[in-house]
């Protein structure tokens, strides 16, 4: 169903975003990878698969950078069918890394960087793909969900809870244009290639995510606004509100 479609994946230099690029590439459409980190590794992997791809260095906190990302995508492919909002600053406490400061000890600049990347980046990217999707009267906006109840995880948890609400509100705004807006849980705490060896030995890696984001890019409008979990190979609405 995604043949010939064009997907933008933010935060795709590594981790879940890098993993996601490969199943989307297998669908035969255009893949645009974007990250503030170097994109050499994922670019090499996509080139080896002879995928029609575009790599655009992008800081999702910067609206001008996001505007450039969208412009370059349209110049190259002429359309945008799927946006995966994956760029995020993540706690990674489960890797055994130090906890972030409690709110009473947290610098405002740190708070702003987390919220600006996770929530602000989702806002910027969604805002700038919507005019194209509305004109096409089709499209999927898929945001990676997560959460934290650990001490020190407030900034991350707040950003993800806000993305859940953002998903519901934007879904309502875009329903008349047949643009489907959902959030997707990766299903577990993930140890990416940047995790310590000990963490990667005991935790699932990005491959655990499977094809759930490809499936999310095909869900019907009836599921727009939902947080989706993968159960028995199908995406279903979460009970989490």
The residues annotated as belonging to the active site are 156
> CA-based Rg of the chain, rounded to a whole angstrom?
17
Strand partners, 142: 84, 182
């Amino acid at each position: 169903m995604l043949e010939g479609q064009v997907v933008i994946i933010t935060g795709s230099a590594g981790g879940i975003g890098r993993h996601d690029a490969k199943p989307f590439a297998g669908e035969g459409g255009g893949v645009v990878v974007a990250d503030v980190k170097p994109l050499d590794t994922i670019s090499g992997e996509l080139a080896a698969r002879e995928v029609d791809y575009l790599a655009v260095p992008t800081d999702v906190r910067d609206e001008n950078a996001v505007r450039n990302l969208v412009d370059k995508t349209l110049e190259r492919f002429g359309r945008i069918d799927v946006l995966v909002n994956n760029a995020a600053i993540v706690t990674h406490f489960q890797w055994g890394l130090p906890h972030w400061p409690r709110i009473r000890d947290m610098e405002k600049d740190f708070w702003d960087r987390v919220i600006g990347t996770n929530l602000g980046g989702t806002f910027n990217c969604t805002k700038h793909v919507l005019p194209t999707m509305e004109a096409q009267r089709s499209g999927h906006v898929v945001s990676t969900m997560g959460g934290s109840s650990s001490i020190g995880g407030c900034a991350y948890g707040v950003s993800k809870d806000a993305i859940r609400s953002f998903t519901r509100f934007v879904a309502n705004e875009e329903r008349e244009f047949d643009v489907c807006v959902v959030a997707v849980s990766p299903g577990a705490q993930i140890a990416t290639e940047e995790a310590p060896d000990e963490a990667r030995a005991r935790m699932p890696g990005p491959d655990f995510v499977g094809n759930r984001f490809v499936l999310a890019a095909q869900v019907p409008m009836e599921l727009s606004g939902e947080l989706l979990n993968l159960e028995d190979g199908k995406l279903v609405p979460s009970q989490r509100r």
